[in-house]
């Protein structure tokens, strides 16, 4: 692998289009970077859970919100809202949803081989 390289989300290695969302993924050696565009009305428990199952999202997330707002509630009862410029960590065991009428755009980075779930509609 090269010591320096980049990839652009306009030429993503993979694109996933679950309901009310678009996820563009680029593979960068031992990590993957994802651009998530979540439409108003997107909610994990309504748009993703029917496909992956479970009571709550079992993936951990580390990312940054570029635009829009997202609310997240954890199984332990805590809640958080994040917006533009906020870096975040969501532990496994949560539900999340877009707040307001503006799409929420986030970037996340995870170890290669880990994924948000076996979403349908992969390209």
At 118 the pLDDT is: 47
107 or 114, which is more confident? 107
Alpha-carbon span 39 to 22, nearest angstrom: 9
At 84 the pLDDT is: 99
51 or 122, which is more confident? 51
Per the domain annotation, does 55 fall within a domain?
Answer: yes
At 121 the pLDDT is: 41
Q: Is the pTM of this model over 0.95?
A: no
Alpha-carbon span 121 to 97, nearest angstrom: 20
Per the domain annotation, does 119 fall within a domain?
Answer: no
Report the DSSP beta bridge partners of residue 67: 105
Place of tokens 């509630």: 73
Which domain, by its residues, includes 101? 9-111
Domain of 41, CATH number, reads 2.60.120.10
Per the domain annotation, does 49 fall within a domain?
Answer: yes
Residue 81's H or E segment, with its range, is: strand 79-82
Overall domain count for the chain:
1
At 111 the pLDDT is: 80
> How confident is the model over 35-80, as pLDDT tens digits?
999 999 999 999 999 998 999 999 899 999 999 999 999 999 999 9
Per the domain annotation, does 41 fall within a domain?
Answer: yes
**Do 57 and 48 form a contact (C-beta atoms < 8 A)?**
yes
Per the domain annotation, does 104 fall within a domain?
Answer: yes
Per the domain annotation, does 116 fall within a domain?
Answer: no
């Amino acid at each position: 692998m090269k010591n320096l390289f980049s990839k652009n989300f306009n030429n993503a290695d993979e694109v996933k289009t679950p309901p009310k969302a678009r996820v563009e993924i680029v593979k960068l050696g031992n990590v993957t970077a994802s651009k998530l565009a979540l439409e108003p009305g997107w909610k994990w428990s309504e748009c993703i859970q029917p496909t992956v199952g479970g009571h709550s999202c079992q993936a951990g997330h580390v990312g940054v919100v570029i635009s829009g707002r997202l609310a997240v509630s954890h199984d332990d009862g805590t809640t958080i809202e994040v917006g533009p410029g906020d870096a975040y960590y969501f532990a496994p065991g949560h539900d999340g949803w877009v707040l307001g009428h503006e799409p929420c755009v986030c970037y996340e980075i995870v170890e290669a081989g880990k994924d948000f779930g076996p979403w349908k509609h992969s390209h």
